[in-house]
C-alpha cells in the first residue's frame, strides 16, 4: 500500500528553500506550515536524524493551529503509539479534526476504525458515513473499501451494482487492491458481471504493481489455462513473486510445484523450504506436507517427532488428511504411544469431513471394540458412509457384521 506520508506529506517550499535552522526558527514563531514541515522532517529523517518524539511534538503544534495534514499524521501516531503513548481516543479526535477539513485519508481511516471494531465499538453507521464522504471526494482507497463492503455484505446489504461501480472508479485510478477486488468479481460472479477476460486484465494490471493476491490469482489462471492459454513459466514466476511477498497460498503452491515436479524440476529441499514458510503462516495443508517430508526424510533429515508435531498442528487446524494420519498414528503407535481414545477422536474429525479411509477404519474400530465398547450400530454407520463414498472393502465387511448380528 502507498504510504500515508507519500500521499499527503510532500515537502513544501519552506523545507526546500530554507535551512533547517531557519525552519526551526519559523516553527518556534508559530508558523504553522513550518511546524508541520518540521514534524515531517523529524519523522522522515530529512536534514535531521529521525526523532519520532519531536515529530509528534511539531505535528501536534501544527494540528492545534488547524493544519489538516498534521492532524492526520498525529492521529496516525496516537493510533500506532509511535513517538507518543498509544491513545485511540486522541487518535480519533485528530482524525475527526482532519476529516472535518475534508482530508480523505482521515475520513477513510475513521471509516475503517468504526467498520473493523477492533479499537473501538463497531459502528456501521459511522463507518459508512465517513467512507461515503471520502469516496465521494474521489479517494480511491475509500472507494475500494466501500465497494468491497457492498460485495461482501459488510455493514451494508449486498449490492453488486454499487460494488462494481465503486471498484471501477478506484481501479480506474490505478489502485492495485481495487483492480484485484474487481477482478475477483469478474472471475467469480455467476451473473451479468462474469467476464474472465476482464478479470485477467485487471489481475495483470495489479500484478504489474506487485500486488501479491493478484499475482497469485493470475498464476492460478496461467497454471490451468483458464481464461488464457496455459503458461507454466508465467505461472511459476508469479507464484514465486507472490511467495517472496509472504503470500501463504503462493508459498504452498511453490512448495507443491517443487514437491511434485510440475512446472519446475523436482527438488525436495526447495519444496521443504517453501512449505515450511507456508506452514509457519499456519497453512494447514503445508503443515501436513512438511510432516510427510520429515517422516520420509525428503529435503530434510528424517525426524518422527517433528513429523508428528507438524501433523498434529495441521490436524488442529482442521486439515482432514492430517486428522486421519494422526488418528492412524495413535491407533498403531507409529510416532506416538497407542491411544485409542485419541485415535477415535481424530478419525471421527476426518471421517466427518468425508475422508473415506477414516470412515472405514472408524467402522472397524467400533466393530472390534479397540479401545471402546464394541458398537455395531456405529460400525455399520461409518462403514456404510465409506461404502457410499466408494471404499472397495466396506460392503463386504458390512455384510459380515450383519450376518454376525443375526
Whole-number percent of the chain with pLDDT over 70: 94
Using the predicted structure, report yes or no on whether residue 138 has a pLDDT greater than 90: yes
Residue 13's pLDDT is 43
Residue 169 backbone class (left: φ over 0; alpha: ψ -120 to 50; beta: rest): alpha
Confidence class of residue 5 from pLDDT cuts 50, 70 and 90? Answer: very low
**Cα-only R_g, the chain:** 29
pLDDT of residue 7: 42
pLDDT at 3 over 50: no
pLDDT of residue 335: 54
d(CA 93, CA 279): 41
210 conformational bin, left if phi > 0, alpha if psi -120 to 50, beta if neither:
left
Statement: residue 6 has pLDDT above 70 = no
CA 93 to chain centre: 30
Tell me what percent of the residues of the chain surpass a pLDDT of 90: 84
- Where does the pLDDT of residue 226 fall: very low under 50, low under 70, confident under 90, or very high at 90 and above? low
Of 176-180, 330-334, 398-402, the one with minimum mean pLDDT is 330-334
pLDDT value at position 204?
A: 96
Spell out the domain ranges in the chain: 1-101
pLDDT single digits (tens) 61-102: 999 999 999 999 999 999 999 999 999 999 999 999 999 999
Model pLDDT, residue 2: 39
Q: Residue 181 CB: number of other CB atoms within 10 A? A: 25
The pLDDT-based confidence of 262 (bands split at 50, 70, 90) is confident
CATH topology of domain 1-101: 1.25.40
Question: HSE-up of 120 (CA within 13 Å, CB side)?
Answer: 19
Mean residue pLDDT of the chain comes to: 92
* Model pLDDT, residue 20: 85
Amino acid at each position: 500500500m502507498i504510504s500515508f506520508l507519500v500521499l499527503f506529506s510532500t515537502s513544501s517550499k519552506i523545507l526546500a528553500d530554507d535551512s533547517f535552522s531557519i525552519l526551526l526558527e519559523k516553527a518556534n514563531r508559530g508558523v504553522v506550515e513550518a511546524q508541520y514541515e518540521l514534524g515531517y522532517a523529524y519523522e522522515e529523517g530529512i536534514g535531521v536524524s529521525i526523532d519520532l518524539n519531536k515529530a509528534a511534538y511539531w505535528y501536534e503544534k501544527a494540528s492545534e493551529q488547524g493544519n489538516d495534514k498534521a492532524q492526520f499524521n498525529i492521529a496516525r501516531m496516537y493510533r500506532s503509539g509511535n513517538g507518543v503513548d498509544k491513545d485511540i481516543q486522541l487518535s480519533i479526535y485528530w482524525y475527526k479534526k482532519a476529516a472535518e477539513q475534508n482530508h480523505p485519508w482521515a475520513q477513510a481511516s475513521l471509516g475503517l476504525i468504526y467498520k473493523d471494531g477492533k479499537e473501538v465499538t463497531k459502528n456501521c453507521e459511522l463507518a459508512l458515513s465517513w467512507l461515503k464522504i471520502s469516496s465521494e471526494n474521489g479517494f480511491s482507497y475509500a472507494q475500494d473499501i466501500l465497494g468491497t463492503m457492498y460485495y461482501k455484505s459488510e455493514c451494508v446489504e449486498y449490492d453488486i451494482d454499487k460494488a462494481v461501480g465503486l471498484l471501477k472508479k478506484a481501479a480506474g485510478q490505478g489502485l492495485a487492491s481495487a483492480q484485484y477486488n474487481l477482478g475477483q468479481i469478474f472471475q467469480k460472479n455467476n451473473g451479468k458481471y462474469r467476464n474472465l477476460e476482464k478479470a485477467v486484465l485487471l489481475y495483470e494490471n495489479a500484478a504489474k504493481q506487485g500486488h501479491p493476491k493478484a499475482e497469485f490469482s493470475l498464476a492460478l489462471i496461467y497454471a490451468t489455462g483458464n481464461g488464457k492459454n496455459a503458461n507454466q513459466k508465467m505461472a511459476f514466476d508469479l507464484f514465486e513473486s507472490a511467495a517472496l511477498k509472504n503470500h501463504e497460498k503462493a508459498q504452498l503452491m511453490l512448495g507443491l510445484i517443487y514437491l511434485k515436479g510440475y512446472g519446475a524440476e523436482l527438488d525436495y529441499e526447495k519444496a521443504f523450504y517453501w512449505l515450511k514458510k507456508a506452514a509457519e503462516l499456519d497453512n494447514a495443508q503445508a503443515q501436513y506436507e512438511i510432516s510427510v517430508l520429515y517422516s520420509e526424510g525428503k529435503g530434510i533429515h528424517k525426524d518422527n517427532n517433528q513429523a508428528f508435531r507438524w501433523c498434529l498442528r495441521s490436524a488442529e487446524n482442521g486439515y482432514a488428511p492430517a486428522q486421519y494420519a494422526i488418528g492412524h498414528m495413535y491407533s498403531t503407535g507409529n510416532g506416538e504411544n497407542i491411544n485409542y481414545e485419541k485415535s477415535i477422536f481424530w478419525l471421527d474429525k476426518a471421517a466427518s469431513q468425508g475422508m473415506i479411509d477414516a470412515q472405514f477404519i472408524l467402522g472397524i474400530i467400533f466393530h472390534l471394540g479397540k479401545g471402546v465398547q464394541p458398537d455395531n450400530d456405529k460400525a455399520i454407520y461409518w462403514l456404510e458412509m465409506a461404502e457410499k463414498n466408494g471404499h472397495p472393502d466396506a460392503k463386504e465387511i458390512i455384510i459380515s457384521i450383519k450376518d454376525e448380528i443375526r
